[in-house]
Amino acid sequence: MRRHGRGRMVVTAAAVATLACALFLAWQLNYVPHPSHSSEELGIERYQSPRDTDADGVDDQTDILESARAYVATRPRYQSRYYAGGWPDDGCGVCTDVVARALLGAGIDLRALVAADVGAHPEAYGIAASDPDIDFRRTQVLTLYFERNAQVLTTDLSDVAVWQGGDIVMWEGHVGVVSDRRRSDGMPFVIHHWGPLQLRYEEDRLDDWGRIVGHYRLG
């Protein structure tokens, strides 16, 4: 782009071509299905939870995983806004909604659990005025909640078998559900929601999204 007359910006053909190439590459990386393998194919034993919170005959870990998939199958649009009642009801959502919906599908009400813990231990969260309708949709709050109430696991990715489908992974400012689909080297995919241009929600991004700050298991 270059300036033309009275501060107007003129977009050059080269700039348009560069932008088009960048957008096409981003689209391709997000759209093209990543080759994946099941844990069984790679000889990695699956973790099965001893709990079945909603008594549906499916263990919590599996329920969390499949509920995350069911939620993103609705292809939620990325939009960050406040909802009375806490749960988005307009087909939109953000990264924390993947986790909240995944847990709810297993009978685990993250909104209620976070509200109870924040209410009982406000000093641990440093929240001046708590709001149950938004607290459980904030990554900072979820990190503290999981550290206090979930099984805290390693953030080291070298032992891929420790990372199981249905686990929760927390990066700086982002969160997702670990998939049971894996690369040929055993690295799991992740089910997450990161932005308005997202085409696929289950991606090979666990080890390149950013710095991992938490790995948790509620199943």
pLDDT value, residue 2: 45
Cα-flanking dihedrals φ and ψ of residue 170, to 5°?
A: -120, 120
The dihedral through the CA atoms of 141, 190, 46, 109 has a sign that is positive
Cα→Cα distances 218→33, 110, 198, Å:
29, 11, 27
Q: In this model, does residue 102 exceed pLDDT 50?
A: yes
* Per-residue tokens: 13: 């053909």
**pLDDT tens digits, 17-75:** 665 555 545 544 554 557 888 889 989 999 999 999 999 999 999 999 999 999 999 99
**pLDDT tens digits, 176-189:** 999 999 999 999 99
- Are the C-beta atoms of residues 10 and 177 closer than 8 Å to each other? no
pTM here is 0.84
The dihedral through the CA atoms of 153, 191, 203, 174 has a sign that is negative
pLDDT greater at residue 2 or residue 130: 130
The residues, ordered by sequence, that sit 6+ positions from 116 with a Cβ below 8 Å of its Cβ are none
d(CA 44, CA 47): 9
Model confidence at 197, pLDDT cuts 50, 70, 90, reads: confident
The residues, ordered by sequence, that sit 6+ positions from 61 with a Cβ below 8 Å of its Cβ are 47, 48, 49, 164, 165, 166, 217, 219
d(CA 85, CA 76): 18
Of residues 218, 196, 143, 195, the one with CA closest to residue 209: 195
Domain definitions of the chain by residue range: 1-32, 37-217
Type of residue numbered 127: I
> How big is the chain by its Cα radius of gyration, in Å?
20
Tally the C-alpha atoms within 13 A of residue 40's C-alpha that lie toward its C-beta: 0
